[in-house]
Structure 1
Amino acid sequence: MKPFFKPLALLVVLAGVATAASAESMNVPAPDFTLHSRSGENLRLEDHRGEVVMLNFWASWCGPCRQEMPLMNEIYDRYKDLGFTILAVNVDENRDEALRFLDSVPVDYPILYDPESSVSELYEVQAMPTTIMIDRDGNARYVHYGYQPGYEDEYEQQIRKLVRE
């Protein structure tokens, strides 16, 4: 399989801004995957073709994830009726840790489990959280590494742009 972020990752590393950059623009096909969800069913990225997808990789031990997820829930509630969804991929090896996290930080959007990190490896995730905005045609358009207060404003700008396309 062709590397997904290799050219972008190399550029970011060479620039020395892997976690400092809020977002990088791109336009590459987002690799398809299927993962088990908190609701008990398997969810496939390809099944969301035609929607704008915010693909978010997170972990229970991630402090910035704890800050970001309630804000993402507000974004989800605001845009879900416009053809937008969030797929939040948890990378904890032990699902119980993720469930404890979600007890204290409840969200309404779909939670997926990647305990072997196969999907996070496919997307070359190197920071928690990592967020990828995927357009209606299934192309990854923006990638965000980490989280800092204010990123949610950039998320919303990108979502509004992609929903209108």
Structure 2
Amino acid sequence: MNPKTKKIIGNVVFVLFIGLLIWPTSRSYFQQLLMKIGLFKPKLEVPQQVAEPLSSGTENVGKGVTFMNHLGETVSVADLKGKVVFINFWATWCGPCRAEMPSINVLYDKFKDNPNVVFLIVEIEGDKEKAAAFVKNEKLTLPISYPNSDIPKEWLSESIPSTVILGKDGNLATRHEGMADYSKPDVATFIQDLINK
């Protein structure tokens, strides 16, 4: 093969590779592959800025925060005290958000029948049609929720996806910004440990 042909083939392969990274569906599969090989592990540690417990009479991060669930019901975070709460903030247009959803679905399937755990998968744009279409196309069983009040900056600052897990006392147990693989056994163990406390 002559050098000119090699150069053309190399350029074509490079353009195809870049195209695959840019095309949302391919990028999502590529990101999921990177998660599976262990590059995107969620932080499972108490953050430095820990929220106060959700208790009456004190101003705290979770007080007054509500979401609208997939059934159209209002869910107050303060009413979830006594349960472990997994909250993931995402948007339908966010590639990393879409890439991590199958791993969150695996985690959800492990705990969906456990009355001590609540999953709030919050589509921050409130785009119910696109969210429903995404869940259906990806064959996910996750219950999607939507913001019904302001979201505290301690939970969601500037980047999505972002995930927080609250302990049964309403305290922030962990917070992770960016894409992560939540199907790993250590995440389920972390949640089970919070349930057992």
TM-score (norm 2): 0.62
CA distance in structure 2 between the partners assigned to 1:44 and 1:156 by the alignment: 24
2:89 corresponds to which residue? Answer: 57
User: Deviations along 1:91-112, whole A, 9 cap, x unmatched?
Assistant: 1253332232222234434321
Report the alpha carbon displacement of residue 70 of structure 1 after superposing the two structures with TM: 2.1
Structure 2 CA distance for partners of 1:48 and 1:135, relative to 1, 3 Å = same
| SS of corresponding position for 1:39 | coil
Report the alpha carbon displacement of residue 122 of structure 1 after superposing the two structures with TM: 6.4
- Which amino acid in 2 is paired with 1:54? F
CA distance in structure 1 between the partners assigned to 2:84 and 2:191 by the alignment: 7
Structure 2 CA distance for partners of 1:86 and 1:105, relative to 1, 3 Å = same
2:174 to 131, 142, 153: 142
| SS of corresponding position for 2:172 | strand
| SS of corresponding position for 2:129 | helix
CA distance in structure 2 between the partners assigned to 1:103 and 1:120 by the alignment: 29
Report the alpha carbon displacement of residue 114 of structure 1 after superposing the two structures with TM: 2.5
- For these two proteins, the number of residue pairs brought into alignment is 144
Larger radius of gyration: 2
User: Deviations along 1:12-55, whole A, 9 cap, x unmatched?
Assistant: xxxxxxxx884252342351311222211111112221111111
CA distance in structure 2 between the partners assigned to 1:143 and 1:122 by the alignment: 9
2:51 corresponds to which residue? Answer: 28
CA distance in structure 1 between the partners assigned to 2:153 and 2:130 by the alignment: 20
TM-score (norm 1): 0.73
1:112 corresponds to which residue? Answer: 145
- Which amino acid in 2 is paired with 1:71? S
CA distance in structure 2 between the partners assigned to 1:93 and 1:38 by the alignment: 11
Report the alpha carbon displacement of residue 129 of structure 1 after superposing the two structures with TM: 0.9
Gapped regions of structure 1 (runs ≥ 5): 1-19
Report the alpha carbon displacement of residue 121 of structure 1 after superposing the two structures with TM: 4.5
CA contact (8 A) 2:156 2:162 kept: no
CA distance in structure 2 between the partners assigned to 1:134 and 1:102 by the alignment: 24
Pairing of 1:1-165 with structure 2 (within 5 A): 22-23=42-43, 24-26=45-47, 27-29=50-52, 30-32=61-63, 33-82=65-114, 83-92=116-125, 94-114=127-147, 118-119=150-151, 121=153, 123-149=155-181, 151-153=182-184, 154-165=186-197
CA distance in structure 2 between the partners assigned to 1:104 and 1:21 by the alignment: 25
User: Deviations along 1:117-152, whole A, 9 cap, x unmatched?
Assistant: 822646343221100010011111100111134x43
Gapped regions of structure 2 (runs ≥ 5): 1-39, 53-60
Backbone CA RMSD of aligned residues: 2.6
CA distance in structure 1 between the partners assigned to 2:41 and 2:142 by the alignment: 26
| SS of corresponding position for 2:113 | helix
